[in-house]
Amino acid sequence: MDQLLQTIKDGISMGSLYALIALGYTMVYGILKFINFAHSDVVVLGAWLSLVMADTTTRALGGAGAAGAPWWLGGAVLVTAMVACGLIGFTIERLAYKPLRGSPRLNVLITAIGVSLFLQNTGQLRAVFGTNPRSIPPLIHDATLLTVGQVNFKLLDLIGFGTAVALMIGLDYLVFHTKLGRAMRAVSHNRVTASLMGIPVDRVISFTFVTGAMLAAAGGFLWALKYETIKQPADSSWVLLGLKAFVAAVVGGIGNVRGAMLGGMAIGLLENFGSAYLSSSMKDVYVFALLIVVLLVRPGGILGKAVVEKV
């Protein structure tokens, strides 16, 4: 019983992280029809920026650790990391992708891989984040809120899950209930027709990138809170994280915002149930096995529509 509860808790907590990251992939795909391979590197940036900011501020406050940190510091770090990554997302789109607007998709894809390598390797510079793993100082005193059996529900669990859910609800509202969201969906459906409605297509695309990068930063921040050691920017575990979030987007139906949330949760739960009840060394296998099954049975994803390629 305890194991079941613990697995569900871990699965949902991991799943909400995957979902946050998957949203960035799916939004950019929805609007530009290409996979932004540099997206996982923005997650890394978000994690590292959070770490650096948390480290500098707690040091400046005189004490390492949560004791000296005001309660709002975590929120401030999160917001600053999101704004910074939003700006970086904007810059990446402007410099790397926008000039390729009319060119074949393959060119954009290769450029994205280039941007990804650039971010990874710049991040490793000693003047930037360096190549050693580091850990984020505790920003908040983590208290146990509730214990069921032997499963502890802690404050940080609640904050992590709550932040992810709040951001997803916010995004869902933005996409489905605002004028800007309607413009985003219009651009995603047909760029030319959208421009004939008077929608400034380039600005909507920029905005989409910024939003995706901000969610990635939040994902990085929550990741940093969750795992004590933050690996160096080019570490393969980051690539795997990005890859799994991408799988979440595809499983949910690429281009579909609600699908990405669902896919993220599905993958988080699957991974944790697999490692708890079958074998933990096969953790990654379950995720990619699910991808294969979904691609075979329902290639459009759970919430996606089968798209007939027009010739």
Nearest distance from C-beta of residue 40 to other proteins, angstroms:
28
Question: Residues 148 to 187: which contact other proteins by CB under 8 A?
Answer: 179, 182-183, 185-186
From 10-18, 138-146, 196-204, 282-290, give the range in contact with other proteins by CB under 8 A.
196-204
6 or 195, CB closer to other proteins? 195
Examine residue 195 and tell whether it contacts other proteins (CB under 8 A).
yes
For residue 107, state whether it binds other proteins (rule: CB under 8 A): no
| 32 scored as a contact of other proteins (CB under 8 A) | no
Q: Is 127 in the site for other proteins (CB under 8 A)?
A: no
Q: Which of residues 247-306 bind other proteins (CB under 8 A)?
A: none
Pick one of 169, 197, 282, 289: the residue that binds other proteins (CB under 8 A). Answer: 197
Q: Is 198 in the site for other proteins (CB under 8 A)?
A: yes
Query: How many of the chain's residues bind other proteins (CB under 8 A)?
Result: 18
Minimum Å gap between C-beta 193 and other proteins is: 4
CB of 203 to other proteins, least distance (A): 9
Q: Which of 199, 217, 224, 294 binds other proteins (CB under 8 A)?
A: 199
Piece in contact with other proteins (CB under 8 A), picked from 84-92, 127-135, 198-206, 238-246: 198-206
Supply the minimum distance, in Å, between the C-beta of residue 49 and other proteins: 34
Three-state SS across the chain? Answer: CHHHHHHHHHHHHHHHHHHHHHHHHHHHHHHHCCCCCCHHHHHHHHHHHHHHHHHHHHHHCCCCCHHHCCCCHHHHHHHHHHHHHHHHHHHHHHHHHHHHCCCCHHHHHHHHHHHHHHHHHHHHCCCCCCCCCEECCCCCCCCEEEEECCEEEEHHHHHHHHHHHHHHHHHHHHHHHCHHHHHHHHHHHCHHHHHHCCCCHHHHHHHHHHHHHHHHHHHHHHHHHHCCEECCCCCHHHHHHHHHHHHHHHHHCCCCHHHHHHHHHHHHHHHHHHHHHCCHHHHHHHHHHHHHHHHHHCCCCCCCCCCCCCC
Tokens of 130: 């360096």
192 vs 297, beta carbon nearer other proteins: 192
For residue 175, the minimal CB distance to other proteins (Å) is: 12
Phi and psi at 146, nearest 5°, equal -155, 140
Residues of this chain that interact with other proteins (CB under 8 A) are 179, 182-183, 185-186, 189-190, 192-202
